[in-house]
Homo-oligomer: A and B are copies of this chain.
Amino acid sequence: MTKKLSVGIIGAGRIASVHVQSLAAIPEVHIAAIADIVLPSAQAYADQFGIAKVYDDYRKIIDDPAIDAVYIISSTDTHTEIMTAAAQAKKHIFCEKPIALDLKEIDTVLDVVKKSGVTLMVGFNRRYDAGNMELRKAVMDGSIGTPEMCIINSRDPAPPPMEYVKVSGGIFLDMMIHDFDLARYLLDDEPEEIFAQGACLIEPEIGKFGDYDTAMVTIRFKKGALCHIDNSRRAVYGYDQRAEVFGEKGKVYTANIHENNAVKVSVGGYSQPPIQNFFLERYLDAYRREAKWFVDCVTKGEKPLAGGLDGKVSVCMGYAAIKSAKEHRPVLLSEIC
């Protein structure tokens, strides 16, 4: 067997679970180390997955010459510091979204990464979802002709805890950022202008922080297509994730995925089980494909589906949406970055 790719995990929170699992299942990968400022969190993963080295300081991973690549899945405010260190140590980088919430900081780190020549992949997992990839393919191969509209419906099953909401950056930077990125990916185009409407209909506490729990956005893209995105923090029936691209020759869309494929029929009609409720369950295959893709980027010269620029533009779109909702007018992306 050829040498395995040696990976260090930085960050051992909830999201680490899916990334570590996905990496562990790839025969070409060796998870060499895991670090978290909360050592017991890192230790728990190490125990379960047989990871030999456990640290409370990510620098131990950066300094380990045997490690080829790092998974930066720590809290957002630590990303750019760690990315900078990793790039300088010539380690390939997988970084969870968003890269950072400060645009200047993003520019600076992307510059460092570029100069270092390492691979950077940003964790927009939905680009690796089989359905979304099929939509992208239909757009790229001309099946639907020139895209004219894109409709994304994206709703969480339940609002996150208020402590999370307070530091999240708000619905546009925390939640809709995924949909902003997906729209760019599906349309293969750049946004020009955004109009955003926000409302607080579910949890009044959210409104107290100037945030929204319900939002609709209209985006005009450079090649002319219009895009609608809606978000809700509470879809009681599950994790509602649908996208549609409409063009001159037809359309392509994704349907939700039910918990199982059984249908019950009675006097009252037909019933299907709820859709998959949790993002880890819904996008498990996407996370697995993403991890494999990252490995292929490093080892086989594959290109990331989402790189540094994608990480930046999605944040710009979030700020444009926030500005639009506050100022109650369409905002040009050129006003932001």
Which of A114-122, A174-182, A265-273, A300-308 is found at the contact surface with chain B? A265-273
Binary B-proximity of A249-286 (CB < 8 A = 1, otherwise 0): 11111111111111111111111111100000000000
The answer to whether A209 has its CB under 8 Å from any CB of chain B is no
Closest chain B CB from A43 CB (angstroms): 12
Once the chains are docked, how many angstroms separate the CA of A253 from the CA of B134?
Answer: 25
The answer on a CB contact under 8 Å between A149 and B251 is: no
Decide yes or no whether A228 CB sits under 8 A from chain B: yes
A191 to chain B: closest CB distance in Å?
13
Q: Which of A6-14, A91-99, A193-201 touches B?
A: A193-201
CB distance from A146 to the nearest CB of B (A): 7
Please report the C-alpha to C-alpha distance between residue A62 and residue B266 in the assembled complex, in whole angstroms.
48
Give the distance in Å from the alpha carbon of A48 to the alpha carbon of B237 in the complex.
Answer: 40
Contacting residues of chain A (207-265) with chain B, CB-CB under 8 angstroms: 214-216, 218, 220, 224-226, 228, 230, 232, 234-237, 240, 246, 248-265
Quick one: which of B232, B262, B273 contacts A148, CB cutoff 8 A? Answer: B232
Question: How far, in whole Å, are A271 and B251 apart by their CA atoms in the complex?
Answer: 11
A169 interfacial by beta-carbon distance below 8 Å: no
User: Contact check: which of B47, B132, B265 meets A251 at CB < 8 Å?
Assistant: B265
Do B255 and A263 have beta carbons less than 8 Å apart?
yes
In the bound complex, do residue A232 and residue B253 qualify as a contact, i.e. CB atoms below 8 Å apart?
A: no
In the complex, residue of chain B having the shortest beta-carbon distance to the beta carbon of A255? B261
A254 touches B250 (CB 8 A): no
Residue from B131, B216, B330 within 8 A of A262 (CB atoms): B131
> B230 to A149, Cβ gap below 8 A?
yes
Is there contact, CB below 8 Å, between B226 and A250?
A: no
Supply 16 A–B pairs (Cβ within 8 Å), ascending by A: A143-B264, A146-B201, A148-B232, A195-B195, A197-B220, A201-B225, A202-B248, A214-B226, A228-B230, A237-B250, A249-B266, A252-B262, A254-B261, A254-B263, A268-B271, A270-B275
- With a CB–CB cut-off of 8 A, which chain B residues contact A256? 261
Contact B271 A236 (CB under 8 A): no
* Interface pair B236/A130, CB less than 8 Å apart: no
Interface size class of A (residues with CB under 8 A): 35 or more
Residue of B nearest to A143 (CB): B264
A236: chain B residues within 8 A (beta carbon)? 248-250, 266-267
Measured between alpha carbons, how far is A336 from B166 in the docked complex, in Å?
39
A197 & B216 in contact (Cβ 8 Å cutoff) = no
A273 (CB) vs chain B CBs: closest residue:
B269
Give the distance in Å from the alpha carbon of A262 to the alpha carbon of B274 in the complex: 16
Contact A148–B214 (Cβ < 8 Å): yes
In the complex, chain B residues whose CB is within 8 Å of the CB of A214: 148-149, 226
Q: Report A6 CB to chain B, min CB distance, Å.
A: 16
Q: Is A135 an interface residue (CB 8 A)?
A: yes
- Whether the pair B230, A226 counts as a contact (CB closer than 8 A) is yes
Binary contact track A146-172/B, C-beta < 8 Å → 1, others 0: 101101010100000000000000000
With CB as the reference atom, state the residue of chain B lying closest to A27.
B48
With A and B bound together, what is the CA distance between A256 and B224 in angstroms?
A: 27
- Docked complex Cα distance between A237 and B265 (Å): 6
Inter-chain contacts of A153 with B (CB < 8 A): 151
A270 near B269 with CB under 8 A, answer no
Counting chain B CB atoms within 10 Å of each CB, the highest count among A1, A25, A224, A265 belongs to A265
